[in-house]
Structure 1
């Protein structure tokens, strides 16, 4: 099943669901002919789309709105905050090409602060599926919930089969005593590579797919801190306001401390290129992440270790 097929199936089963787009039909091309008047394209007007979605939600509809993540979260921010967040309306925001998925696009089209600004809006929930399988398992609950939601849409395929989604719960892939990687979205792919490399170096490695960034699974973060010598937050987002900040907030709330290594973008937008080139240039391939972890001084205070070259 694809994103469009799931959305079609859901819309046909629920007359209150309305699909909207700001001239971004990449994943919903076939829906106008299927849904008729329940498919609304406002043109390149993200603010108008959100205002209209709020109006429809006030009348009992559940709008699923689509736009590029950068424009949905930034250009329409005030409308999301004021029309949707304050009113606590069930508008479902689907943000396309978030983070590194915008690969060849420049800074104006890069959504690498979206988690930070969206989770700051009261009532708005925030989700980041690891891949297409994860996306399809998460969306039914997200669409069915009474709260507004922002979802980083990720339709990339991986070989991992995810567990059923539980609201506000992370997915524990493995538990490790040396290091635990907390991640979400696209970076889950690279985390799988990193885990195997670290295991080959003799480390006990945990991997957690966060899935939900608001509400966040505080217990899984505290468990990772309690069981592992160090925790790594891995994300295609600015280091400020994303998962690294979330972990810091959770630790402070529970009066806990930990060795935490953030792997995130440091105060700069990434250089546009094809996705694999972006990951390599910015230092986010599985191998590069593994080397950063092995070189981190608090992991046994050991010197930097280079992993032997081999294909990922």
Structure 2
């Protein structure tokens, strides 16, 4: 099943669901013929899109709203905060090409502060599926929830068979005594490679997919901290406001501290390029991640051999 097929199936079973877009039809191009008036394209007007979605939500609809993640979360932020957030309306925000998935585009199209912005809105829930299979398993529960939601849309093919989704719960892929990698979204694919490379060097490596960023699985994070191993946060987001900040908040709230290696974008946008080139240049391939972890553990990263080649971006234009 594809993203479009899931929306179609859900909309045909529930007349409350309305599909909306700001001229961003890449993954939903066949829905107008199926949904008729329940498919609304406002054009390149993200603020109008959110205002209209809020109005429909006030009248009992469940709008699933589509736009490029950077324009959805930045250009329409005030409308999301005020029209959707204050009213706690069940508007479901689908942000296309978030983070590194905006390959080939410059800083204007790079949504690398979206998690920070959206989780800062009271009542807003925030999700970042690891791949298409993870996303399709998550969306029915997200759409059925009465809460507003932001989802980092990710249609990359799955390389891992995921556990069933539970709102607010992390997916514990593995536990480790030397290091535990925390990640979300498309970089999950690279952390799987990094874990395999580190395991080959005799390291015990834990891996957690934090597919639900708000609500966050605080119990899972605290369990990792109490284990005492090195924690590595990996995210295609600014270091401020994302997973590293979430972990810091949890630690401070519980009066704990631990060793943490953050792998994120520190005060910079990333260099434009195709996805494989971006991951290599910015140091987010599985091999680069494994080397950084090995160095943090006090060992040479030079012994880390190359992992599988990364696929290109799977998004259609």
Cα distance in 2 for partners of 1:154, 1:123 equals 23
DSSP 3-state at the match of 1:44: coil
User: Is contact 2:197-2:304 (8 Å) kept?
Assistant: no
Cα distance in 2 for partners of 1:190, 1:147 equals 31
User: Is contact 2:159-2:189 (8 Å) kept?
Assistant: no
Cα distance in 2 for partners of 1:200, 1:222 equals 27
Residue matched to 1:157: 157
User: 1:175-254 alignment to 2 at 5 Å?
Assistant: 175-254=175-254
| Pairwise CA distance, 1:309 | 3.4
| Pairwise CA distance, 1:310 | 3.1
Write out per-residue CA displacement over residues 57-107 of structure 1, whole angstroms, 9 at most, x where no aligned residue: 000000000000000000000000000000000000000000000011000
CA gap 1:205/1:303 in 2 versus in 1, 3 angstroms: closer
Matched, 1:306 2:305: no
Report the TM-score, using the length of structure 1 for normalisation.
Answer: 0.97
| Pairwise CA distance, 1:311 | 4.3
| Pairwise CA distance, 1:158 | 2.1
CA gap 1:132/1:223 in 2 versus in 1, 3 angstroms: same
DSSP 3-state at the match of 1:126: strand
Residue matched to 1:2: 2
User: Is contact 1:176-1:228 (8 Å) kept?
Assistant: no
Q: How many residues align?
A: 308
Cα distance in 1 for partners of 2:160, 2:132 equals 10
Residue matched to 1:59: 59
User: Is contact 2:20-2:41 (8 Å) kept?
Assistant: yes
Matched, 1:266 2:266: yes
Cα distance in 1 for partners of 2:44, 2:286 equals 37
User: Is contact 1:100-1:110 (8 Å) kept?
Assistant: yes
User: Is contact 1:180-1:228 (8 Å) kept?
Assistant: no
DSSP 3-state at the match of 1:223: helix
Cα distance in 1 for partners of 2:301, 2:287 equals 12
Cα distance in 2 for partners of 1:206, 1:256 equals 20
Matched, 1:284 2:284: yes
Q: Any gaps of 5 or more consecutive residues in structure 1? A: none
Residue matched to 2:68: 68
Write out per-residue CA displacement over residues 127-159 of structure 1, whole angstroms, 9 at most, x where no aligned residue: 000000000000000000000000000000022
Report the TM-score, using the length of structure 2 for normalisation.
Answer: 0.96
DSSP 3-state at the match of 1:186: helix
C-alpha RMSD over aligned residues: 0.8
Write out per-residue CA displacement over residues 159-195 of structure 1, whole angstroms, 9 at most, x where no aligned residue: 2111110010000000000000000001000000000
| Pairwise CA distance, 1:227 | 1.8
User: Is contact 2:3-2:27 (8 Å) kept?
Assistant: yes
Cα distance in 1 for partners of 2:105, 2:302 equals 32
DSSP 3-state at the match of 1:105: coil
User: Is contact 1:182-1:210 (8 Å) kept?
Assistant: yes
DSSP 3-state at the match of 2:158: coil
